[in-house]
């Protein structure tokens, strides 16, 4: 067949192309996480966390297959370099590492708080242009030095830190005390007219359990990363860094982050310890879960926006230490009312804080405000970021205790 012969000629023509651009897996160093710190002058210190595949595959101990991770060196290694642009640092790094650096597998970008407060655009924009950067990588803000965090963060349960970062985004569904922000989202919000960016806070733990204060009722996890009392002297993922444009302007604690998650509809489940409404000073545990997405409506009262937020929650009673049977039809509404009031109050406090302290619409209310406009021009004229702090926000919480755990009735303790 003639076509086959033609094909042969074409293949011959393609053959000299060689294997341009092919890279063997053992010629590449895979960067799993990148840390950014402020360097001397205008420069930036980039810390790379590079996987060591030999250890991960269990080959480091020698003797072939059966090595099995025991003491054969660390699974990751990290290096810091100073450069004016983050991408430039890769090329500098190649003078120290025998392997080509690739970002294809990087799952986390960690910026130090110091850097974040001076503005991130000039670091983020090159990353966004670079083809190896993943829009699905996670963004973190580190209290303290990002480089130090990367060096000291050694997850014990995970083989590679990249899995740790990814799993933190999954485990967030359980506690909702940290936002989950992908690079794409962060970048979009940085440029958006209708919302502002946030990023989760990470830090190395500073305090140990002994020096902790007594936890306040009605709040759970009211700390930012690094300050949570724990015996583990290691990394913590807790709380939110609030941005205005590309500059960080403040922090939310884990407790506040829960309400942020609630208002943005990202909270799947969370836990709350409140004060027992019938018995002062006794803690009562409820597991919150979202019944459906919150409904947000934005109207304009002349030029002042009026934001209505309806939250729908379905908590489950987890622990009642007072022994009062809140399962009974008479007492259930009491608890519901108490809980709803608490949530509403805490949400309003949070909103007030963003309006007054941060002047930043981190909830993305602007997305709903946009619906009042017909064309882009009108919307740009409205200057949402400027009018948001003046907005009136009404929050109503619809709350129904659907389940009461494994107990349908509570008998008091007898003696």
Partner 1 sequence: MVKNKKYRLEIKQPRLAAGIIFFTAKACGLPPAVNVWGVELKKILETLLRLITYQPDFDREGFILRENEYDRQSVPERRDGGQKSPGGPEGGGRNGGGEGSGRRTPRRAARPRRKDEPAGEAEPGRVHSRLDENRRAVERIYGLPANKDVILREFSLGTDPPLRAFMVFIDGLADRKSQYRLLENLMIHCRILRPGDVMSASRIMTSLLPGSQVKNLDSFEKIADAVNYGDTAFFFEGSDSALVVETKGWEARTVDRPETEQTITGPQEAFVENLRANIALIRKIIRSSDLYTEIIPVGARFRSDVAVMYIKDLANPDLVAEVKRRLSSITVDFVTDVGMLEQFIEDSPYNLNPQTLATERPDRVAAALAEGKVAMLLSGSPFALVVPTTMFSQLHTGEETYLRWQYGSFIRYIRTFSFYLALLLPGSYLAVTLYHQEMIPTELLLAIAGNRERVPFPTVVEMLLMEFSFELVREAGLRIPGIIGSTIGIVGALILGQAAVQANIVSPILVILVAVTGLASFSIPYYSLAFAVRIYRFFYIAMGALLGFYGITIGLFIQILLTVNLKTFGLPYLSPAGPRTFPGRDMVGRLPVFLQRRRPDYLNALDDVRLPGAPRGWVEGGDGGSEDGSDR
Partner 2 sequence: MKMVRTGKFGPAEAVVLLTLSSMARIFLTFPRFLVEIAGEAAWLSSLAGLAMVLFQVYVFLLLLRTHPQKNIVDITAEALGRVAGTAANIVYAAFFVAVAAMFTRTFSEALLVSALPRTPISVVSTGYVAMGVLGAYVGLEAMARSARVVYPFVVAGIAILLLALIPLWDYTQLFPPLGQGPLSILRGGLIAGAVVEVLLAAVIVQSFHDPDKFGTILSWAMLMGFGYMIALMLILVMTFGYNTAQELTLPFYQVSRLIYLGRYFQRVESIFIIIWGYIGMVKVVLTLYAAAVTFAGTFKLPDYRPLIWPLALIIFVASLLPGDMPAAERIEAVVLRYYAWFPAFVLPLAVLAAGRARNRRNRKNAGG
List residues binding partner 2 (CB under 8 A): 3, 6-7, 10, 13-14, 17, 20-21, 131, 134-136, 163, 166-167, 170, 182, 184, 187-188, 191-194, 367-368, 370-371, 373-379
Q: What minimum distance in Å lies between the beta carbon of 371 and partner 2?
A: 5
Strands (E), 224-303: 235-244, 247-252, 269-275, 283-301
- Sort residue 244 into left (φ over 0), alpha (ψ -120 to 50) or beta: beta
Strands (E), 173-264: 198-204, 235-244, 247-252
Main-chain phi, psi angles of 212, to 5 degrees: -80, 155
Q: What minimum distance in Å lies between the beta carbon of 2 and partner 1?
A: 7
CA distance 264 to 252: 15
- Residue 144: name its binding partner from partner 1, partner 2, none (Cβ under 5 to 8 Å by kind): none
CA distance 167 to 138: 11
Sites of contact with partner 1 (CB under 8 A): 1-7, 9, 14-15, 17-19, 21-26, 28, 30, 32, 51, 53-59, 64-65, 102, 104-105, 107, 132, 134, 159-160, 162-163
H/E stretch holding 8: helix 2-14
Q: What minimum distance in Å lies between the beta carbon of 381 and partner 1?
A: 42
Q: What minimum distance in Å lies between the beta carbon of 68 and partner 2?
A: 23
Q: What minimum distance in Å lies between the beta carbon of 256 and partner 1?
A: 32
Nearer to partner 1, 1 or 413 (CB): 1
Nearer to partner 1, 72 or 285 (CB): 72
- Residue 376: name its binding partner from partner 1, partner 2, none (Cβ under 5 to 8 Å by kind): partner 2
Q: What minimum distance in Å lies between the beta carbon of 101 and partner 1?
A: 13
Which residues make Cβ contacts (< 8 Å) with residue 330, sequence separation at least 6? none
Nearer to partner 1, 14 or 413 (CB): 14
Q: What minimum distance in Å lies between the beta carbon of 137 and partner 1?
A: 11
- Residue 15: name its binding partner from partner 2, partner 1, none (Cβ under 5 to 8 Å by kind): partner 1
CA distance 315 to 173: 15
69: buried, middle or exposed (CB in 10 Å: 19+, 13-18, 0-12)? middle
CA distance 85 to 92: 11
- CA-nearest of 298, 314, 287, 324 to 397 is 314
Nearer to partner 2, 124 or 199 (CB): 124
- CA-nearest of 38, 25, 20, 136 to 86 is 38
Nearer to partner 2, 3 or 214 (CB): 3
CA distance 164 to 140: 13
CA distance 307 to 372: 12
Nearer to partner 2, 21 or 63 (CB): 21
- Residue 57: name its binding partner from partner 2, partner 1, none (Cβ under 5 to 8 Å by kind): partner 1
Cα torsion for 341, 369, 116, 89, to the nearest 10°? 140
Nearer to partner 2, 170 or 231 (CB): 170
Nearer to partner 1, 135 or 233 (CB): 135
- Residue 136: name its binding partner from partner 2, partner 1, none (Cβ under 5 to 8 Å by kind): partner 2
Q: What minimum distance in Å lies between the beta carbon of 367 and partner 2?
A: 4
- Residue 378: name its binding partner from partner 1, partner 2, none (Cβ under 5 to 8 Å by kind): partner 2
Nearer to partner 1, 31 or 399 (CB): 31
β-pairing, 100-102 with 28-38?
Answer: parallel
Number of CB atoms found within 10 A of residue 306's CB: 13
Q: What minimum distance in Å lies between the beta carbon of 6 and partner 2?
A: 6
């Amino acid at each position: 067949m003639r076509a086959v012969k033609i094909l042969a000629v074409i293949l011959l023509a393609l053959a000299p192309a060689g294997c341009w651009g092919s890279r063997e897996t053992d010629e590449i160093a895979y960067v799993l996480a990148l840390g950014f710190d402020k360097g001397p002058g205008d420069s930036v210190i980039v810390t790379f966390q590079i996987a060591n595949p030999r250890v991960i595959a269990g080959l480091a101990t020698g003797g072939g297959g059966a090595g099995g991770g025991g003491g054969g060196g660390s699974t990751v290694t990290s290096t810091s370099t100073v450069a004016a642009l983050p991408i430039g640092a890769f090329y500098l790094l190649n003078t120290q590492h025998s392997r080509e650096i690739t970002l294809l597998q990087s799952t986390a970008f960690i910026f130090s708080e110091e850097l974040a407060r001076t503005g991130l655009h000039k670091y983020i924009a090159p990353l966004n242009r670079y083809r190896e950067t993943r829009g699905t990588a996670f963004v973190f803000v580190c209290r303290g030095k990002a480089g130090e965090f990367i060096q000291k963060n050694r997850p014990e349960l995970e083989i590679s830190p990249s899995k740790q970062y990814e799993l933190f985004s999954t485990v967030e569904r359980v506690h909702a005390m940290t936002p989950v922000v992908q690079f794409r989202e962060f970048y979009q919000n940085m440029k958006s007219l209708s919302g502002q960016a946030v990023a989760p806070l990470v830090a190395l733990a500073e305090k140990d359990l002994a020096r902790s204060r007594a936890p306040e009722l009605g709040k759970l996890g009211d700390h930012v990363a690094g300050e949570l009392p724990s015996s583990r002297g290691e990394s913590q993922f807790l709380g939110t860094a609030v941005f205005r444009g590309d500059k960080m302007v403040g922090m939310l604690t884990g407790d506040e982050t829960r309400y942020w998650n609630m208002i943005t509809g990202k909270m799947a489940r969370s836990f709350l310890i409140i004060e027992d409404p019938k018995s002062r000073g006794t803690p009562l545990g409820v597991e919150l879960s979202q019944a459906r997405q919150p409904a947000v409506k934005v109207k304009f009262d002349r030029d002042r926006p009026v934001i209505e937020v309806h939250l729908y929650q379905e908590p489950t009673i987890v622990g009642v230490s007072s022994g009062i049977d809140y399962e009974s039809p008479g007492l259930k509404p009491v608890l519901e009312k108490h809980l709803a009031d608490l949530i509403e109050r805490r949400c309003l406090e949070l909103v007030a804080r963003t309006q007054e302290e941060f002047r930043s619409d981190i909830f993305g209310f602007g997305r709903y405000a946009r619906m009042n406009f017909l064309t882009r021009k009108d919307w740009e004229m409205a200057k949402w970021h400027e009018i948001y702090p003046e907005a009136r926000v009404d929050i109503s919480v619809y709350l129904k205790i659907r389940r009461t755990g494994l107990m349908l009735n509570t008998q008091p303790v007898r003696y």
